[in-house]
Structure 1
Amino acid sequence: MSLHSSSPTEAVALAGLDLAAPQTLAQPVAVRLEGVRRVFGSRAVLDGIDLEVRRGEFVSLLGPSGTGKTTLLRILAGLDRADGGRVEVASARSVVFQEPRLVSAKRVWQNVVLGHVQNRVTRRLAAAALEEVGLGRHVDVWPKTLSGGEAQRVALARALAGEPNLLLLDEPFAALDALTRIRMHDLVAQLWRRHLPAVVLVTHDVDEAILMSDRVIVLSGGGIRFDARVPLERPRKRGDAGFTALRARLLAELGVASPEAGGHA
């Protein structure tokens, strides 16, 4: 899929693999942005963003702090407005934030129902969603009894209970320990393959973006600096040549001088 933006957009071929994704091209569009701007004071954090994401596509947004990743996600979620341009987003959309944002006075199943309009998600559907994220026995417990990873699973169950066409993830793994983070990566990947929403993930972790995504986008200077399809078969391994090559390129785009500087940017 060819995208256009106010900054050069690039697709890179790595390890001789084809970048085409015909199965994605056949899916309906979940996100279409044309010339989107968002200005704070005299600074345009987003300045002419063009972006298209289709149903079933997993896209990660990378970029240094302050480059508009979360602002863009909030616009897609309907939590912030654009100051210019055109925004078309699937009406059925859900957001998972870095913090689970559970209501302590409500039981787990009630937190899953919370936010879904007109009781469209019932206790039965909430229980099914919790079963899907491995918390089938936690339907009636209180949030304070949950670990950090379990609480984030509840947030994910809440997001998926309404069967969204677009799932927005704002650094949902950042506060988790390393082992729980790996487990959540696997869980999100399984749920994505099962439900096939479009997914937009904001992350600072280059390895995470490559492991999980179909495409990785780097934001810089108000626009899309780099847009790379990830031409690696799943499951992906950090030591593979294609993974290493894309990682080095992304780190360079993020201004990290050496590939050995680490997986975070």
Structure 2
Amino acid sequence: MSLHSPLSPATPRLVPSGAAPPPVAVELGGLRRVFGERAVLDGIDLTLRRGEFVSLLGPSGTGKTTLLRILAGLDRADGGTVRVAEARSVVFQEPRLVPAKRVWQNVVIGHRPNAEARRLAGAALEEVGLSRHADAWPKTLSGGEAQRVALARALAREPSLLLLDEPFAALDALTRIRMHDLVAQLWRRHLPAVLLVTHDVDEAILLSDRVIVLSGGGIAFDTAVDLPRPRQRSDRAFGVLRARLLAELGVGSAEGHG
């Protein structure tokens, strides 16, 4: 039987060595999701804690986005248990802004449009460097700006869990690098648990504490990223981990991305 229940919200904090671990944001036990006769996810056990940044890799069709959608409450599980923090937000590959609402209204969509909502939107937009665009219409934004608005909207809810579904995939290379830096800064400031779905091995290593590879309906590989930040692609240890992850993904060379 599937159980989808909330975890208690908690205040993010840095925990010194020897102290109790941070609160759990995600706890999955034997998660299954079946489409037709195929179990896309088959027995997934996974725990994510507040302040942990985890990337999810895997070939297309291995259930990465399905898992993210279940955690977001947008899809159901067919078996196992799913416990997720109540405060969670999602950023998709497309910004999904409402064209008929101004930027600040998109940030606090669902809130009553009053002075407090405007203040909240302003603070979130300042964090992503878009204060001067608060009254702009979405159609006037660049792709990178629109995605920053989507990120501001997600963080304005102060989530315990931030779900990122390939949010940088449609951006040009330079904008993508800038978004990596921004997401890393915001993660360190707010300390949600982050689950990033990506096909880019380098992106996963640059951003994450931990990288998981899905294959055959389950977790085929799960490793900590024990590299000092900020990380450099030119570092030997970076290349070694890249090669291992590419091998787990069935790619025989350390060149290119997953």
For normalisation by structure 1, the TM-score amounts to: 0.89
Q: Is the 8 A contact 2:53 2:193 kept in 1?
A: yes
The residue number in structure 2 matching 1:152 is 147
Q: Is the 8 A contact 2:111 2:117 kept in 1?
A: no
1:201 pairs, out of 196, 199, 206, with 196
Q: Any idea what the Cα deviations from partners look like across 1:173-230, whole Å, max 9, x if unmatched?
A: 0000000000000000000000000000000000000000000000000000000000
User: Structure 1 pair 258/157, CA: closer, same or farther in 2 (3 Å)?
Assistant: same
User: Structure 1 pair 75/116, CA: closer, same or farther in 2 (3 Å)?
Assistant: farther
Q: Is the 8 A contact 2:87 2:158 kept in 1?
A: yes
SS of 1:228 mapped into structure 2: strand
User: Structure 1 pair 22/247, CA: closer, same or farther in 2 (3 Å)?
Assistant: farther
What's the CA shift for 1:115? 3.8
User: Structure 1 counterpart of 2:41, which letter?
Assistant: L
Using the aligned pairs only, state the percent identity: 81
Q: How many residues align?
A: 243
Q: Any idea what the Cα deviations from partners look like across 1:4-34, whole Å, max 9, x if unmatched?
A: xxxxxxxxxxxxxxxxx95896200000000
Q: Is the 8 A contact 2:40 2:216 kept in 1?
A: yes
1:47 and 2:47 equivalent?
no
The residue number in structure 1 matching 2:86 is 91
Taking the aligned partners of 2:214 and 2:128, their CA distance within structure 1 comes to: 31
Deviant stretches of 4+, over 2 Å: 21-25, 115-121
1:32 pairs, out of 27, 30, 41, with 27
- Aligned ranges 1:1-265 → 2 under 5 Å: 26-115=21-110, 122-260=117-255, 262=256, 264-265=257-258
SS of 1:192 mapped into structure 2: helix
Taking the aligned partners of 2:84 and 2:115, their CA distance within structure 1 comes to: 21
Q: Any idea what the Cα deviations from partners look like across 1:93-138, whole Å, max 9, x if unmatched?
A: 0000000000100000010011459989711101110011000111
Q: Any idea what the Cα deviations from partners look like across 1:25-46, whole Å, max 9, x if unmatched?
A: 6200000000000000000000
Q: Any idea what the Cα deviations from partners look like across 1:219-256, whole Å, max 9, x if unmatched?
A: 00000000000000100000111101100000000000
User: Structure 1 pair 244/24, CA: closer, same or farther in 2 (3 Å)?
Assistant: farther
Deviates more, 1:59-68 or 1:111-120: 111-120
User: Structure 1 pair 24/170, CA: closer, same or farther in 2 (3 Å)?
Assistant: farther
CA RMSD of aligned residues (A): 1.8
What's the CA shift for 1:144? 0.6
Taking the aligned partners of 1:90 and 1:120, their CA distance within structure 2 comes to: 28
Taking the aligned partners of 2:57 and 2:76, their CA distance within structure 1 comes to: 21
User: Structure 1 pair 85/26, CA: closer, same or farther in 2 (3 Å)?
Assistant: same
SS of 1:122 mapped into structure 2: helix
User: Structure 1 pair 33/22, CA: closer, same or farther in 2 (3 Å)?
Assistant: farther
SS of 1:259 mapped into structure 2: coil
SS of 2:170 mapped into structure 1: coil
Taking the aligned partners of 2:236 and 2:24, their CA distance within structure 1 comes to: 32
User: Structure 2 counterpart of 1:176, which letter?
Assistant: L
User: Structure 1 pair 34/195, CA: closer, same or farther in 2 (3 Å)?
Assistant: same
For normalisation by structure 2, the TM-score amounts to: 0.91
Taking the aligned partners of 2:110 and 2:40, their CA distance within structure 1 comes to: 29
